[in-house]
Amino acid sequence: MIELAPSILSADFARLGEQVNRAAEGGGTLIHVDVMDGHFVPNITLGPQLVKSLRKATKLPLDCHLMIENPDLYIPAFADAGADWMSVHLEATRHLDRSLNLVKTHGCQAGVVINPATPVDMLSEVLDIVDYVLVMSVNPGFGAQPFLPHSLDKLRKLRNLREHKGLGYRIEVDGGISVDTVGRVVRAGGEILVAGNAVFSHGDPKINAQTLLKAALEATLQQV
């Protein structure tokens, strides 16, 4: 099933509740929250306090993408603040299995994220414990970067592995998703589509979300 996860990174934070609700009216079903610490990635964004406010503004699940070092230190605070899904970067933790289990013990869906230069093969030992895999299709840290096409091979690989191993993780993609790239992403196996710039940087988030979802669903139909 295809889902759109609007990323608030490109939203107007002074009108966050309103913008998130517009994106939801346009078909967004998961709100993607980019947490950056200025160490793991060269940018700083937000913490649990904003997640707490967002929790009151929307009923949609909050998908917290932790681009932070030492994620284990902060997972409990994000869970308490109202995160529903939480993903940790393979590159940001020394003990990936521990971090993923910590997310689970806090009652959240657990995801693992890989950067553009990290191969899918590195995930072999955790694919059976994660609820989702997040493939970065840009180098994390900023919105509105161009889509990196080599991530399409990773999506295909993850889809094939899931089938061969009989696993149930979902495949999320993040970075550079637009009406121009979403067709290729969906056909390669992307299921949860994160989009910041395409939804929030211009016009009405509702219309933008609808347009993007329509393009994604059309690509799914072409696949059959």
* Amino acid symbol at 207: I
Instruction: Kindly state the tokens that stand for 12.
Output: 């107007």
* Amino acid symbol at 179: V
Contact region for ligand DX5 (CB under 6 A) — 17-25, 84-92, 188-196, 210-218?
188-196
Comparison of 34 and 191: residue with beta carbon closer to Zn ion: 34
Contact between 174 and Zn ion per CB under 5 A: yes
Q: Are 151 and 139 in contact (CB under 8 A)?
A: no
Comparison of 137 and 211: residue with beta carbon closer to Zn ion: 137
Residues linked to residue 195 through DSSP beta bridges, in sequence order: 6
Cα first-last separation, the chain? 14
Please pick, from the candidates 22, 65, 89, 170, the single residue that binds Zn ion as defined by CB under 5 A: 65
Contact region for ligand DX5 (CB under 6 A) — 6-14, 69-77, 97-105, 114-122?
6-14
Comparison of 42 and 124: residue with beta carbon closer to Zn ion: 42
Comparison of 12 and 128: residue with beta carbon closer to ligand DX5: 12
Whose CA is closest to 129, among 92, 159, 103?
Answer: 103
Contact between 34 and Zn ion per CB under 5 A: yes
Which among 72, 174, 180, 204 is annotated as catalytic? 174
How many residues touch ligand DX5 under the rule CB under 6 A: the total is: 22
DSSP string of 162-173, one letter each residue: HHHHT---EEEE
> Residue 147 has what DSSP assignment?
P
Q: Is 174 a catalytic residue?
A: yes
Contact between 7 and ligand DX5 per CB under 6 A: yes
Contact region for Zn ion (CB under 5 A) — 33-41, 51-59, 122-130, 142-150?
33-41
H/E segment holding residue 136: strand 132-136
Contact between 11 and ligand DX5 per CB under 6 A: no
Comparison of 101 and 115: residue with beta carbon closer to ligand DX5: 115
Is the C-alpha dihedral spanning 92, 94, 96, 102 positive or negative? negative
Instruction: Kindly state the tokens that stand for 160.
Output: 């094939």
* Amino acid symbol at 6: P
Residue nearest Zn ion by beta-carbon distance: 65
Q: Measure the CA–CA gap between 167 and 116, rounded to whole angstroms.
A: 23
Chain residues that interact with Zn ion, rule: CB under 5 A: 34, 65, 174
Chain residues that interact with ligand DX5, rule: CB under 6 A: 7, 9-10, 32, 34, 65, 138, 140-145, 174-177, 194-198
Which residues belong to the active site? 34, 174
